[in-house]
Amino acid sequence: MKKNVVFFEVRGGSDKGKDGYRPDTMPMVNALKAKGYDAEVIFFEIGKMDEIYNYVKNNAIAYVSRINPGNLKEENEYFDMLRKLCKDGIVPMPHPDAMIGYGAKDALVHLNDTPLVPKDTYAYYDMESFKANFPKTLAKGQRVLKQNRGSTGEGIWRVQLLHPLTKPVDSLPLDTEIKCTEAKDNHTEIRKLGEFMDFCHQYITGENGMLVDMTFLPRIVEGEIRLLMLYDKPVNVVHKKPASGGDNFSATLFSGAKYRYDDPSLWKGLVDTFLSEIPMIKQKLGNYDLPLIWTADFILDTDKDGKDKYVLGEINCSCVGFTSQLELAPKVADEIIAIINRAKK
């Protein structure tokens, strides 16, 4: 059996160290080598795609994708190459369609008939449906809009009415004044509803354009809870508390949020609930094998009995890093080998 694992990277981007690699890539390569496997990094280039494809097809047993989609203009071509490699029997970590299924914001909509996600969670793929439905959902209370692209909170907006309604309405007029706070840096803008929806056109147009519309959960100020998963095992829990004050709700470091790293045993209720739902999540998101490294972000809410419950806010799997915990590399290498052995049985 071939024992060469290829790690795909792309040159450039803010996620690279001084050596040109992601800081968590070479620790995985070296950990695999220490366990008797061959491992190497290949930088994807569109001009060398056929050469790369043939080399990996003939020399590798598996690939690990370590490319941040934001650093790759030719994402569709890259994914097409990965699909071909999957058909050739190369073990994917992850499959490109798993990256899309888990990583796209509309994963939440696929799960809105489960206990993990509120039922009134919607996805808009065109301006017509967005303009028809968003004035209705906003009339019921604060909302969060999430674009499909971007990172670090860019294009994620908390939207609330500037003036409370004096009586319930089914839909809001386009001249309604709204307060919009972007998660990128917690800055707030006062806009008219119609003008803001026109502004959101940039998020819906273009390839993979989309907006997700979900209810705002005010307990986000208590902190977002991120589960870092190594395949089907929780590795740690990151508690991300937004900066206090005003309309702040962003849990990104850039916005001033404070991070705390906990052992999963300290969040047993959340962890046990999430692990029990993984078979259902897997089935609803395309039935692909689980990603090698992925995260699930949760926000506290209160159920009808006044007890705490956790609402899934996002899943990430395209290129989740563990730069702050490089000691995990041997565990990641063990999981890579386990995935290969299961696939090749």
Average pLDDT for 246-250: 58
Q: How confident is the model at residue 249 (pLDDT cuts 50, 70, 90)?
A: low
Q: How confident is the model at residue 252 (pLDDT cuts 50, 70, 90)?
A: low
Strands (E), 183-307: 188-192, 211-215, 224-230, 233-241, 258-262, 293-302
**Range in 61-65, 241-245, 341-345 with the lowest mean pLDDT:** 241-245
4-94+325-343: CATH, from 3.30.360.10, 3.50.50.60, 2.10.240.10, 3.40.50.280: 3.40.50.280
What is the structure's pLDDT at 257? 66
Please determine, for residue 253, whether its predicted confidence score (pLDDT) is greater than 60.
Answer: no
Report the DSSP beta bridge partners of residue 297.
Answer: 226, 314
More confident residue, 101 or 177: 177
Q: In what order do the strands lie in the sheet with 4-9?
A: 38-43, 4-9, 62-65, 91-93
What is the structure's pLDDT at 177? 97
Residues 55-90 as b/e (b if ≥16 CB within 10 A, e otherwise) read ebeeebbbbbbbbbbbbbeebeebbebbeebbeeeb
Q: How confident is the model at residue 218 (pLDDT cuts 50, 70, 90)?
A: confident
Q: Which of 124, 115, 167, 116 is nearest to 143 (CA)?
A: 124
What is the structure's pLDDT at 244? 66
Q: What is the DSSP letter of 205?
A: S
Helix (H) or strand (E) holding 154, with range, is none
Look up tokens 């419950």; give the residue: 309
Please determine, for residue 255, whether its predicted confidence score (pLDDT) is greater than 60.
Answer: no
Domain boundaries, the chain: 4-94+325-343, 103-114+219-324, 122-216
263: Cβ contacts below 8 Å, ≥ 6 apart: 236, 237
Q: What angle do CA 237, 241, 247 make, to 5 degrees?
A: 145
Quick check: 22 and 324 in contact, CB under 8 A?
no
Average pLDDT for 169-186: 93
Q: How confident is the model at residue 248 (pLDDT cuts 50, 70, 90)?
A: low
The residue type at 310: Y
What is the structure's pLDDT at 311? 93
What is the structure's pLDDT at 285? 93
Average pLDDT for 291-295: 95
What is the structure's pLDDT at 259? 81
Q: How confident is the model at residue 150 (pLDDT cuts 50, 70, 90)?
A: low
Report the DSSP beta bridge partners of residue 39.
Answer: 5
CA distances from 27 to 13, 33, 193, 287 (A): 19, 10, 49, 30
Q: How long, in residues, is the chain?
A: 345
Average pLDDT for 64-69: 90
Give me the percent of the chain exceeding a pLDDT of 70. Answer: 94
Total-model pTM: 0.86
What is the structure's pLDDT at 193? 98
Where on the phi/psi map is residue 194: left (φ > 0), alpha (ψ -120 to 50), or beta? alpha
Average pLDDT for 101-113: 86
pLDDT digits (tens, 9 = 90+) for 7-41: 999 998 888 999 999 999 999 999 999 999 999 99
Architecture of domain 103-114+219-324: 2-Layer Sandwich (3.30)
Q: Which of 322, 299, 331 is nearest to 118 (CA)?
A: 299
User: What is the chain's mean pLDDT, rounded?
Assistant: 91
The alpha carbon of 325 is separated from its chain's Cα centroid by a whole number of angstroms, namely 19
Please determine, for residue 190, whether its predicted confidence score (pLDDT) is greater than 80.
Answer: yes
Residues 107-118 as b/e (b if ≥16 CB within 10 A, e otherwise) read bbbbbbeeebbe
Look up tokens 């949760």; give the residue: 298
Please determine, for residue 335, whether its predicted confidence score (pLDDT) is greater than 90.
Answer: yes
What is the structure's pLDDT at 296? 94
